[in-house]
């Protein structure tokens, strides 16, 4: 059991001894990419209104696709899958999860790390795909200190510039103003601690890890290609935001993308690339554990879980 100040606040000291038996067995899943040990860690799930995902899409056709996936009701509950990479030198986590203050159904990363037996202090690098709340807000603990206390935190230069621009909160739209305020505060705090670094599109941010910019969901959203000993896997973040409409109709706009048209271009290009190569992917909001491949299917694609 990893005992942190966050854990003490969440459970109280009397509950610590019992907590070890309460960690869900689905909290993490593992695969191997060459010399890289890859684990996906569950941060729980989000609860989103249906129109947040659907946006301006053909309603009847979308309903038929969702029905084929047994998805009904007024809300979506997408999983949140963080990726952990260990290669014997670096322990890298991709995104930081929601933390305790975004949604009660999310912010479960510490349970997953407990189940895997990894202490946040062991993490050497945090690589952000983008700075939406469910990817960034877990970077600080309840005392506004870095949750991954020994890690360098790396974010794309364009993504950082966007969220630190004081005009962003005024231009992002009222429904996302909290996103902007939270991002600027958390990123500024990480910078104050001297742990925030930037990188550019195409950079090899660490040995075997290359960042590529696919904007639209956010202006500077990055995906990460992991390569080792001839094997590869791509951490796609939210470029491919779900396992149903995003695959079946990549040319439809997604209500979750800040720039829906740019999101279509990025999603379509990435899916075409992944389907042609057969390369494995991990999607942040694909069904846990989020690992699989994209396969061409008619006019679109389908997700095949590993």
pLDDT tens digits in sequence order for the chain, 306 residues long: 344 444 433 333 333 333 444 556 567 899 999 999 999 999 999 999 988 878 788 888 999 999 999 998 889 999 999 999 999 999 999 999 999 999 999 999 999 999 999 999 999 999 999 999 999 999 999 999 999 999 999 999 999 999 999 999 999 999 999 999 999 999 999 999 999 999 999 999 999 999 999 999 999 999 999 999 999 999 999 999 999 999 999 999 999 999 999 999 999 999 999 999 999 999 999 999 999 999 999 999 999 999
| Cβ atoms of residues 91 and 123 within 8 Å | yes
Of 241, 262, 207, the C-alpha closest to 90 is 207
Predicted pLDDT of residue 2: 41
Predicted pLDDT of residue 26: 64
Of 14, 40, 7, 46, the C-alpha closest to 26 is 40
Which residues have C-beta within 8 Å of that of residue 14, sequence separation ≥ 6? none
Predicted pLDDT of residue 11: 38
Token representation of residue 143: 């005392």
Q: d(Cα 39, Cα 118) in Å, to the nearest integer?
A: 11
- Count other Cβ atoms within 10 Å, centred on residue 293: 17
CA triple 82-118-77, angle to 5 deg? 30
Length in residues, the chain: 306
Predicted pLDDT of residue 28: 87
Predicted pLDDT of residue 51: 81
Predicted pLDDT of residue 24: 62
Of 118, 266, 129, 140, the C-alpha closest to 191 is 140
SS3 3: coil
Predicted pLDDT of residue 5: 44
Q: d(Cα 255, Cα 21) in Å, to the nearest integer?
A: 39
Of 249, 204, 194, 244, the C-alpha closest to 224 is 204
Of 194, 185, 92, 90, the C-alpha closest to 136 is 185
Q: d(Cα 29, Cα 192) in Å, to the nearest integer?
A: 34
Of 1, 152, 156, the C-alpha closest to 90 is 152
| Cβ atoms of residues 136 and 93 within 8 Å | no
Q: d(Cα 279, Cα 248) in Å, to the nearest integer?
A: 18
Predicted pLDDT of residue 59: 86
């Amino acid at each position: 059991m990893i005992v942190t100040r966050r854990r003490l606040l969440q459970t109280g000291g009397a509950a610590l001894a019992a907590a070890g038996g309460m960690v869900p067995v689905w909290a993490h899943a593992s695969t191997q990419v060459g010399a890289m040990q890859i684990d996906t860690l569950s941060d729980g799930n989000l609860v989103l209104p249906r129109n947040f995902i659907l946006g301006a899409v053909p309603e009847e056709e979308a309903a038929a696709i969702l029905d084929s996936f047994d998805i009904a009701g007024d809300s979506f509950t997408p999983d949140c899958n963080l990726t952990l990479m260990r290669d014997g030198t670096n322990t890298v986590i991709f995104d930081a999860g929601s933390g305790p203050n975004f949604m009660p159904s999310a912010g479960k990363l510490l349970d997953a790390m407990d189940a895997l037996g990894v202490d946040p202090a062991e993490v050497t690098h945090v690589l952000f795909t983008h700075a939406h709340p469910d990817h960034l807000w877990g970077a600080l603990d309840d005392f506004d200190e870095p949750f991954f206390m020994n890690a360098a935190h790396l974010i794309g230069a364009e993504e950082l510039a966007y969220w630190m621009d004081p005009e962003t909160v005024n231009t992002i739209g009222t429904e996302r103003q909290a996103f902007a305020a939270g991002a600027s505060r958390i990123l500024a705090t990480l910078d104050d601690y001297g742990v925030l670094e930037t990188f550019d599109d195409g950079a090899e941010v660490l040995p075997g890890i290359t960042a590529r910019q696919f904007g639209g969901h956010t202006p500077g959203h990055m995906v990460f290609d992991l390569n080792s000993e001839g094997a590869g896997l791509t951490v796609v973040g939210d470029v491919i935001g779900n396992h149903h409409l995003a695959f079946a109709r990549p040319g439809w706009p997604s209500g979750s993308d800040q720039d829906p048209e740019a999101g279509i271009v990025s999603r379509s290009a990435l899916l075409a690339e992944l389907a042609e190569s057969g390369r494995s992917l991990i999607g942040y909001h694909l069904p846990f554990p989020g690992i699989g491949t994209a396969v061409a299917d008619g006019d679109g694609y389908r997700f095949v879980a590993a």
